[in-house]
Structure 1
Amino acid sequence: MATRYSIEEWDRRSQFLTDSFQRGLAHWNRERLQPRLPDTDWNMLLDRDTRMLRLERGFIQELRAGIVDDAAQAPTDPDSFIAWFEHLKEAGPGQGDPLFPWLGEQATRDELRWFFEQEAAGEAGFDDLVAYTQVKLPVSAKLELARNYWDEMGRGAKAGMHGPMLDTLVETLAVAPTIETTVWQSLALANAMTAMATQRDLAWHSIGALGVIELTAPGRSAMVAKGLRRIGLSDRERRYFDLHAVLDVKHSADWNREALYPLVSEDPRRATAIAEGALMRLRCGQLCFERYREHLWGAC
């Protein structure tokens, strides 16, 4: 799959793919999405949010510029589009990265801890992203996102909620994920996902970004679970990755059939937006994988 320019060129040209910008955006997202009582100085906060929304959109527009030509190649009839989308599992940016076999077979406990700390700190919360994205969607897609959300919420049982499973692993590995100790590439991924989910003119992009997570996560999750098993973690402690290695295969098939297909059938223009969201998510993931390998392996 051709790109407009290389990851290195993209990184070098960017004014938004920087440490300071992504940390500032991550802090803003964390603060603005947190439930709170009414703000007394709401006028000042509104001014701040307006400024940050402009910066956030500049960041998204720059991400789009890097993938727009590839996304334009996506077909707009539903059958061909689904085939194109599913092919991202093999041909999309960052797929087959050598980091994950290495995590499964060679990484030490400390190396797995560092990897997981980066992933946990940059985690935007798949359940919350789905909840934001589903607002006012057409019925078929809305129902599929609702089923997906219900699975994320453990089908009503706290023990089955995916978020607490992640928290269990945080405790087991004794990591303390924070914005300050997370590489900006991981923060950029979470910031991009948050922007797409919370801005309604990016809703179709969010559908694509969330769908491509379901499509591509199982293989990576299985390799991470293998590494965690190798260093001695129990079934309970590995459950988050073990579960996603299996469950997301079904989630992906359902998402493609019940969300993507009817959405593109109803309005073929959505195919391009969905493709852009998927490619932006994959490109951000690719940046993360390269940065992780740079830290874990040295110059590579």
Structure 2
Amino acid sequence: MRAAWQRARDLRSSKFLTDGFQRELALWNRERLEPSFVEEDWRARFEMDARMRRLEGAFLEELRAEVAEEAAAVPTDADEFIRWFEGLREAGPGQGDPLFPWLAAEASRDDLRWFFEQEAAGEAGFEDLVALTQVKLPTRPKLELARNYWDEMGHGTRKGMHGPMLEELVVTLAVNPVIENTVWESLCLANAMTAMATNRRYAWHSVGALGVIELTAPARSAMVAEGLKRIGLSPKEARYFTLHAVLDLKHSEDWNREALRPAVDADPHRATAMAEGALIRLRCGARCFDAYRRQLWS
């Protein structure tokens, strides 16, 4: 793990890992993905979008540069790649962070409210990221992403949809998850996930990034659910995290078998792209955990 001074130096030298840029990018993502109508002055919007896309691309290339050396050493044989990928659950950046046992056992209600506000504001919408990523994928990975999407959508019932569960918890905890109240590291995570899912040159990166969420989220979700129940929430009120603590275990097994393995079998070059995407996601998550601890433990 890099020393704290080295991470601080990297942040000082970055044009993109900054509060101002991440807020600008987050606002642009919110506006461009919102369903809207034809604008009379659509050319001006087009020019702004072109500028932001160039900046978004440079931002993502900076994140790629951070992980390129490690990803280049990842095996491209399907069996070995899956073993490496599954090893990220224990050895990946940000795994075993002390923030989550503390949330489970010690954090106050206000601490958990602040944590959840950051997470909700930085939530890019897993179902939307899956839907954007699956476009034109080969059949087996596409089918696995479709099954995952159907689970996220509650098999066609509103009460089973994961998005509304998150919204219900926002109401229960009385938080205000808006960009203005969110640390830039959380916005950076959402911006990176959105960038990979919306640009087809990063489609396989997105497959790796989404897969590593399914791989690593269950343990963290279980500890957050434990903390929420400790401060008095009912199992129903905490079900967003309780559900992900269980369901994502199966999602991860299926994703690795049906999306990652056949993708690498068909083209070993995809292993490197998916490794980069997974490592980008984990490094962005680790930055979040660092920022959360600085705020909550100060």
Q: TM-score range by the shorter chain?
A: over 0.9
Describe the superposition over 1:87-141 as per-residue Cα deviations: whole angstroms up to 9, x where unpaired. Answer: 0011110000000000000000000000000000000000000000000000000
Describe the superposition over 1:130-187 as per-residue Cα deviations: whole angstroms up to 9, x where unpaired. Answer: 0000000000000000000000000011100000000111000000111011000000
Describe the superposition over 1:12-34 as per-residue Cα deviations: whole angstroms up to 9, x where unpaired. Answer: 22110111100000000000001
* Structure 1, gaps ≥5 residues long: none
Q: Could you tell me which amino acid in structure 2 is paired with residue 51 of structure 1?
A: R
Q: Could you tell me which amino acid in structure 1 is paired with residue 74 of structure 2?
A: A
Counterpart for residue 239 of structure 1: 239
Counterpart for residue 263 of structure 2: 263
Counterpart for residue 211 of structure 2: 211
Q: SS of 1:136's equivalent?
A: coil
Counterpart for residue 112 of structure 2: 112
Q: SS of 1:180's equivalent?
A: helix
Describe the superposition over 1:195-224 as per-residue Cα deviations: whole angstroms up to 9, x where unpaired. Answer: 000000000000000000000000000000
Q: SS of 1:236's equivalent?
A: coil
Counterpart for residue 197 of structure 1: 197
Structure 1 window deviating more from structure 2 (36-45 vs 105-114): it is 36-45
The 2-side partners of 1:66 and 1:8 are apart by 14
| 8 Å Cα contact 1:141/1:263 also seen in 2 | yes
Q: Give the drift of 1:9.
A: 2.9
Counterpart for residue 52 of structure 1: 52
Counterpart for residue 284 of structure 1: 284
The 1-side partners of 2:92 and 2:8 are apart by 17
Q: Give the drift of 1:2.
A: 7.7
From the superposition, tell whether residues 208 and 2 of structure 1 become closer, same or farther in structure 2 (CA, over 3 Å).
farther
| 8 Å Cα contact 1:2/1:70 also seen in 2 | no
The 2-side partners of 1:261 and 1:180 are apart by 40
The 2-side partners of 1:281 and 1:85 are apart by 13
The 1-side partners of 2:81 and 2:251 are apart by 18
Matches within 5 A, 1:63-142: 63-142=63-142
Q: SS of 2:102's equivalent?
A: helix
Q: SS of 1:235's equivalent?
A: coil
Q: Give the drift of 1:63.
A: 0.6
TM-score by length of 1: 0.97
Name the count of aligned residue pairs: 297
Q: Which structure 1 residue ranges, 4+ long, deviate > 2 Å from structure 2?
A: 5-10
Mapped pair 1:252 → 2:222: no
The CA RMSD measured in Å over matched residues stands at: 1.1
Q: Give the drift of 1:8.
A: 2.5
Counterpart for residue 9 of structure 1: 9
Q: Could you tell me which amino acid in structure 2 is paired with residue 259 of structure 1?
A: A
Q: Give the drift of 1:7.
A: 2.8
TM-score by length of 2: 0.98
Q: Give the drift of 1:6.
A: 4.1
The 2-side partners of 1:150 and 1:194 are apart by 20
Q: SS of 1:210's equivalent?
A: helix
